[in-house]
Structure 1
Amino acid sequence: MALFAAATGLFPGDVSRAVAQTSDLVSRSEFRVCADPANLPLSDDTLSGYENRLAELFAEKLERPVAYTWFPMATGFVRNTLRANRCDVIIGYAQGHELVLNTNHYMTSAYSLIVPRQGSLSGVNTLSDTALKGKRLGIVAGSPPASHLVRNGLIAKAKPYALFVDRRVESPAIDMLKDLRAGDIDAAVLWGPIGGPLVKTEFKEFQVTPLLQEDHPPRLFFRITMGVRPGEKVWQRKLNSLIRRNRSEINSILLDAGVPLLDDMGTETLKEQ
């Protein structure tokens, strides 16, 4: 609260009024979602992603229609959507990010190793496995697993893919899996909630193994929340309640999409009910 006051020039007596006013920015007639129009398997403007399904679930519970503000999820996404008051929630946002106020997490997942089901790497479950020595791995540049590739002597041969792109014109995850199919790389390291659904729908010859066995930092599992505007505590609590009360339906949507779900500590995978 003190940091909020310092940043805005408000004193403690004014902060509560500012928070109350901020709550008025949330639409009471629509569930206004900030989303990427070309970010499958998460979201797209044909409403085919699993984040679109989650949005429909929450809108149904709130008894409001979904209304989207579309913007590429790259530099400026939060500033041009949520912070511009054009929408009220980002469906998927990593826990602890300072640009948004996080709800409670609704899923925990991990970066995963993707390899051919019948290949020589099908039994690998850690990036320190000697079976990966000399192999060429696909890796999203700047993502946490890159540090593990460096530690295990795998980075020199690795093929990097861009982290921040406009998915309307470039799809690094799909490009990586196509390269794996073509034999240009031997394995792919992808964020599970992206790689898992792509394997389930388009690259069925591959298997997805969450990387839960790494002994050194950085950790490769993350809790995913919904993001709302800083100060929107009433809205945050409402969404927290919906997450808590609809956990089984949320898990069902995610598992059906192919997302590798973990327990809260990131140590075990959750299975379909």
Structure 2
Amino acid sequence: MSGDFGRRTKPIGALPLSVLAIIGAVKCADADQLPLRVCADPNNLPFSNSAGEGFENKIVSLVADHLQRPLEYVWRAQRRGFMREGLNSGECDLVAAIPSGAPMALTTRPYYRSTYVFVSKPGEPAVSSFDDPSLRERTIGVQLIGDDGMNTPPAHALAERRIVGNVRGFMVYGDYRNDHPISEIVHAVATGEVDVAAVWGPVAGYFAREEKPPLVVTSIAGSPEARVPMTFDISMGVRRTDKQLKAQVDDALSSLAPQIKEILVSYGVPVLWVDTDSR
């Protein structure tokens, strides 16, 4: 029996091309079905949470469907080490909502652009510029990242104008024991803890409308020559060596642009839209 089997068995190179094509197709299909592993924060609305209620949850789901790959989350609090220990260690393949050109990843074309905004109570004078004289008299909330100089653009803009004594800081990360801790700065306006707050647009737009009554969101006026920009393009990120996945996600973001914009608008994100095909 073994001798007959040996005589009938052909080396792989002798298999008909049609058979090789089928084998190749099966292997490619298997590769395409590998999960798209996304690192995301389980408690970071409006961006993401473990219940899939954030707008980034909705957008990465669209991308995974477009790539015909099952979506798999790797939940990790968005703290120091998020990129290094998640994406770049190989724990996941993709992260959403990082600034375009960020050095810690290979970033896709931007899928939206947003801006810092001022949040104030309805009926009170709205602020649209850091040069507004009233800012020297009003209590101002700003988001802070740390004490190592890596603070948010509004914090730097106020410091440049020597507006310091009436500023109250709210950590970007917030108290993780609470639900959606990043909302604290917006809620502080509603309660009167601060008079006005300078907040990243997606955070402000989402939580300002949750307050009763809804708070007023005003884009921060800037100029092209300003040293501290307030407007940023937002991309997704893959490992710097994963150029093939980047190209696939780029294609998905371009094709899905209308649906993505609809999601962003539904979450109250102040969108300064970008033409992803031109990037």
Task: From 198, 204, 208, give the equivalent of 1:189.
Answer: 198
Q: Is the 8 A contact 2:43 2:179 kept in 1?
A: no
Counterpart amino acid of residue 42 in structure 2: P
**Correspondence 1:76 to 2:76:** no
Residue 170 (structure 1) shift: 7.8
1:232 to 2:242 alignment: yes
- In structure 2, the residue matched to 1:30 is 35
**Offset at 1:100?**
0.7
* Paired position in structure 2 for 1:125: 128
- Listed as ranges, the matches of 1:198-213 within 5 Å are 198-202=207-211, 204-213=213-222
Match among 42, 50, 54 for residue 45 of structure 1? 50
1:250 aligns with 2:260: yes
Structure 2 unpaired stretches of 5+ = 1-30, 145-150
Runs ≥4 residues deviating over 4 A: 168-172
Give the corresponding residue for 1:13.
Answer: none
Distance in 2 between the 1:156 and 1:171 partners? 28
Decide which moves more: 252-261 or 178-187: 178-187
Asked whether the 8 Å contact 1:135–1:154 carries over to 2, the reply is no
Percent identity of paired positions between Structure 1 and Structure 2: 28
Q: Report the Cα distance in structure 1 between the residues aligned to 2:175 and 2:232, rounded to whole angstroms.
A: 23
The residue type paired with residue 158 of structure 1 is V
| Matched-pair contact (CA < 8 Å) for 1:30–1:65 | yes
Give, in whole Å, the separation in 1 of the partners of 2:212 and 2:231. 23
SS in 2 for 1:92: strand
SS in 2 for 1:114: strand
Counterpart-to-counterpart distance in 1, 2:175 and 2:84: 16
Distance in 1, Cα, partners of 2:177 & 2:84:
19
TM normalised by structure 1 equals 0.81
Q: Which amino acid aligns with 1:201?
A: E
* Matching residue's letter, 1:159: R
Offset from partner CA, 1:205-256 (integer Å, 9 cap, x none)? 2011121335632011011000100111111011111111111111111111
The one of 245, 259, 262 aligned to 2:269: 259
From the superposition, tell whether residues 55 and 218 of structure 1 become closer, same or farther in structure 2 (CA, over 3 Å): same
DSSP 3-state at the match of 2:185: helix
Quick one: structure 1 residues 85 and 202, their matched pair in 2 at CA, closer, same or farther if it must change by over 3 Å? Answer: farther
* Matched pairs, number: 238
Q: Deviations over 1:34-63 (max 9, x none)?
A: 100100110000111000000111122122
Contact (CA 8 Å) 1:111, 1:189: kept in 2 or not?
A: yes
How far apart in 1 are the matches of 2:175 and 2:41? Answer: 9
